[in-house]
Amino acid sequence: MLGRVDGKRVTMRDVAERVGVSHVTISLALRNHPSIPVRRREEVRRVAEQMGYQPDPLLSSLAVYRHSQRSARIQSSLAWINHWDQPERLRQQHKEFEAYWQGATQAAERFGYHLDEIRWAEDCSARRFQQILETRGVRGLLIPPHQSPPEWGEFDWSKFSVIRFGQSVRTPDSHLVTADHLRGVLMALQTMVRYGYHRIGLVVCDDFDRRLGGNYTGGFYAAQKLFKLKDTIPPLMTDETSYREESATARESLAHWMDQHRPDAILTSVPQVPRMIRELGFRIPEQVAVAGTSIYDVPVEAGINQHSAAIGRIAVEQLVAQINVNERGEPAAPCRILVESLWQDGNSLPQHHEG
């Protein structure tokens, strides 16, 4: 039940009178505004709770409506942090991440922000990089996936609102948005079984799967049990560097695995695998069908659509929501937003195998 003062609903002015400050101060304190000292904010929240104050949902809805009717303007920047050793690879070679960027950029503009990709040079200290962000008026940070997690050092997270993409960067322990990889693999295996494939293999990079929390292999093993696959095939797991720097060795491992297990369909996260399969003399899809865990990064037509642009859009929506309530730094209860994937049909895994 809403709090009452003399039979009337408790308002901000009632709380202001009790605390001995203006109602504007109460409003800012309840929105966690940094202009109000932390001790005062805590006092206001404590008194408001004791008095039973609750925001009026109709007034809150009206405020949101009025804000949405204003023409958007670029009011400050959001930063996309790029600390890759070869910064251009982040979006040029990983099309999923480019789609994150595109979705995030469009959402930022819709809210009146500008999204800047800010490259953090290796010879720049964390404290110096933080100063650069503050000087540029950055309020919110988007942290895309990184192959090597950044060394944040003395970076002060309390200055910024933060959202991470994916799980490859472990700190800061902020809210994150990512594809639901485990459910995506389950969906893919279910589709492949429905299309009549029975000896389905998974080819992933071991270190990549670890960075994802084991979600690819976890989904694969779960699918074997849930869909009662009789002809189970162990996944082929090789380090990423093998495909890039020791392609002959990686191709030999793939040849041995295919000769031993004879898959009729393969789900892979490795961009080089379709080419290697053809180099080994197999025809796709006549002899083995192939689908990718990413329709952007694996060069085959069939596979998982991770809704990457939507991931970028949702990340910015969550980041702006944090900025609006002045939520900064690492939250006490980090949230994980998992975006559902879709299956994309294609010639590399045709439906004519339906059983």
Q: Using 70 as the pLDDT threshold, list the residues of the chain that sit under it.
A: 1-7, 56-75, 352-355
Determine the pLDDT at residue 19.
Answer: 85
Dihedral over Cα of 45, 48, 50, 55: its sign: negative
- Asked which of 28, 53, 69 is the last residue of a domain, the reply is 69
Q: How far apart are CA 192 and CA 291, in angstroms?
A: 9
Q: Give one DSSP letter per residue of 282-322, joined into a string.
A: PPTTTT-EEEES-TTTSSSSSEEE--HHHHHHHHHHHHHHH
Residues 130-185 pLDDT 10s: 999 999 999 999 999 998 878 888 899 999 999 999 888 889 999 999 999 999 99
Q: Which two tokens stand for residue 7?
A: 């039979």
Task: Say yes or no: 215 and 348 in one domain.
Answer: yes
Task: Say yes or no: 192 and 147 in one domain.
Answer: no
Task: Say yes or no: 28 and 173 in one domain.
Answer: no
Task: Say yes or no: 293 and 204 in one domain.
Answer: yes
Task: Say yes or no: 174 and 224 in one domain.
Answer: no
Q: Which two tokens stand for residue 216?
A: 């690819």
The tally of domains found in the chain comes to: 3
Task: Say yes or no: 158 and 287 in one domain.
Answer: no
Determine the pLDDT at residue 349.
Answer: 97
Q: Which domain holds residue 58?
A: 4-69
Task: Say yes or no: 185 and 277 in one domain.
Answer: yes
Residue 215 neighbours by CB distance under 10 Å: 20
Whole-model pTM: value is: 0.79
By CB atoms closer than 10 A (0-12, 13-18, 19+), residue 95 is: middle
Task: Say yes or no: 198 and 149 in one domain.
Answer: no
Task: Say yes or no: 160 and 287 in one domain.
Answer: no
Q: How far apart are CA 287 and CA 285, in angstroms?
A: 6
The CATH number of residue 233's host domain is 3.40.50.2300
Task: Say yes or no: 191 and 113 in one domain.
Answer: no
Determine the pLDDT at residue 57.
Answer: 54
- Asked which of 54, 69, 84 is the last residue of a domain, the reply is 69
- Asked which of 17, 41, 69 is the last residue of a domain, the reply is 69
The CATH number of residue 17's host domain is 1.10.260.40
Task: Say yes or no: 175 and 81 in one domain.
Answer: yes
Q: Nearest CA to 269 among 245, 299, 307, 231?
A: 299
Task: Say yes or no: 301 and 186 in one domain.
Answer: yes
Dihedral over Cα of 84, 87, 89, 95: its sign: positive
264 CB-near residues (< 8 Å, 6+ apart)? 197, 198, 199, 200, 288, 289, 353
Determine the pLDDT at residue 69.
Answer: 52
